[in-house]
Amino acid sequence: MAIIEIENLKKSYRVYQKKEGILASLGGLFKREYREIHAVAGIDLQVEQGEFVAFLGPNGAGKTTTLKLLSGVINPSSGSAKVMGFTPWRRENAYRRKFALVMGQKNQLWWDLPANESFRLHQHIYGVDPTEFKRTQDEITELLNVQHLLGQPVRELSLGERMKMELIAALLHRPEVLFLDEPTIGLDVVAQHNIQQFLKHYQQERKITILLTSHYMKDVAALCKRVVIIADGLIQYDGSLEGIVDRFSSDKIITLQLAETESFDDFQNLDDVIEIEPPKVKFRVQRDDVPKLLSRILASRNVEDIIVEDPPLEDVIASAFSQVEQNRSDADSLHAEAVS
């Protein structure tokens, strides 16, 4: 049985549409216009125990809302979800003892106190046995290499150090399911790498289930075999990282290295060329057109090296996102026309 089961989950908000200007604001005191926002518009998802799943999507796609629904922080408009057999928004203590949520943009540690004071508070709130608490804390602080920072007020830690402390706080009760909402946001490359390594190690060791949202493709590539793309409140893709390219892009990138004697002038007029940097020239073509292009050039030019590869993942995902955006704004304007 899947550890997380989501069926047709929906969450919409009514948002006050404030108009510009002081008169409009005064008018807003009496009559308000609202817009319905479908943050999550019907999601179905199953996650097995021990999976490490990444949620990708543009800002406002519904990733965080989904994690909040699964954490029971907010109630859905409709649909159902079960995590370890519990309905999250019932907020049963038995459920709340078994999972954790870490949000990269918010902190739950006491700002003015050393992190270990907050940890102790968590120990009492979760009712963790003192010896077990000590063991877990020692183990995780060592893995993250922050033992020497435990006694320092949180406000005096760097962003990366603080994020590590947030992670520790979330793991002290040994959750079986972990929701991570952009845990590496704003961190430098080294700190990002440290946290990735830690999560990878911890997840493999404990076999816990993790859902991660992130905008850093490196996080996703390093950690998750399974990727779910959410945009516009709906799941647009669910599969492997490599599969994204097949699904959203039918292009290949061809890089040719030409002999020094070759001229590059006539390449500039070709549509498929995306970059000329002698002695290299780059093409972006449909997959089916690759042999045709190659044979044409090989016949007429002195080529020293050929690389055929998939377009960079970031580009593919970015274009997939903007495709979804485009579809939505088209739908919106259609809707607007229909209304007027």
- Is residue 162 part of the contact set for other proteins (CB under 8 A)? no
> Of the candidates 6, 9, 52, 181, which one interacts with other proteins according to CB under 8 A?
181
Residue 153 within binding range of other proteins, rule CB under 8 A = yes
Distance CA 5, CA 307 (A): 43
**CB 287 to other proteins: min, Å:** 37
74 part of the interface to other proteins, by CB under 8 A: yes
Residue 328 token pair = 């939505």
Q: Which of 91, 207, 225, 292 binds other proteins (CB under 8 A)?
A: 91
Q: Is position 113 an interface residue for other proteins (rule: CB under 8 A)?
A: yes
- Binding range to other proteins, per CB under 8 A, among 116-124, 191-199, 292-300, 305-313: 116-124
Burial class (CB in 10 A: 0-12, 13-18, 19+), 18: exposed
Binder among 25, 34, 48, 127 for other proteins (CB under 8 A): 127
Smallest gap from Cβ 82 to other proteins, in A, equals 18
**How distant is the alpha carbon of residue 44 from its chain centre?**
18
Tell me the CA distances in angstroms from 77 to 8, 65, 250, one per residue in order: 10, 12, 37
Rounded CA gap, 118 and 168, in Å? 10
Q: Is residue 120 part of the contact set for other proteins (CB under 8 A)?
A: yes
Going by DSSP bridges, is the β-strand pair 209-213/52-56 parallel, antiparallel, or unpaired?
Answer: parallel
Alpha carbon 184 to chain centroid distance? 10
Q: Is 263 in the site for other proteins (CB under 8 A)?
A: no
Q: Residue 213 or 249: which CB sits closer to other proteins? A: 213
Location of structure tokens 């779910």:
228
Of the candidates 53, 128, 187, 254, which one interacts with other proteins according to CB under 8 A? 128
Please choose, out of 113-121, 136-144, 202-210, 316-324, the segment that lies near other proteins by the rule CB under 8 A: 113-121
96 binds other proteins (CB under 8 A): yes
Q: Which region, judged by CB under 8 A, interacts with other proteins, from 18-26, 87-95, 188-196, 273-281?
A: 87-95
Six token digits for residue 316: 């593919």
Distance of CA 283 to the CA centre of its chain: 30
Q: What number of other Cβ atoms are within 10 A of residue 167's Cβ? A: 23
- What is 102-126 written as a DSSP string? EETT---S-TTSBHHHHHHHHHHHH
Least distance CB 77 / other proteins (angstroms): 11
For other proteins, the binding residues in 1-20 under the rule CB under 8 A are 13
Q: Which of 5, 117, 139, 310 binds other proteins (CB under 8 A)?
A: 117
Q: Which residue has the tokens 């518009």?
A: 41
What whole-number distance in Å separates Cα of residue 85 and Cα of residue 44?
A: 16
Stretch that binds other proteins, among 41-49, 104-112, 240-248, 290-298 (CB under 8 A): 104-112
Shortest CB 267 distance to other proteins, Å? 45
Q: DSSP letters of 120-164?
A: HHHHHHHT--HHHHHHHHHHHHHHHT-GGGTTSBGGGS-HHHHHH
Q: What single-letter amino acid sits at 95?
A: Y
Min dist. Cβ of residue 214 to other proteins (A): 12
Does residue 68 belong to the site contacting other proteins (CB under 8 A)? Answer: yes
Enumerate binding residues for other proteins (CB under 8 A). 13, 64, 68, 71-75, 91, 93-94, 96-97, 100-101, 103-106, 108, 110, 112-113, 117-118, 120-121, 124-128, 153, 181-182
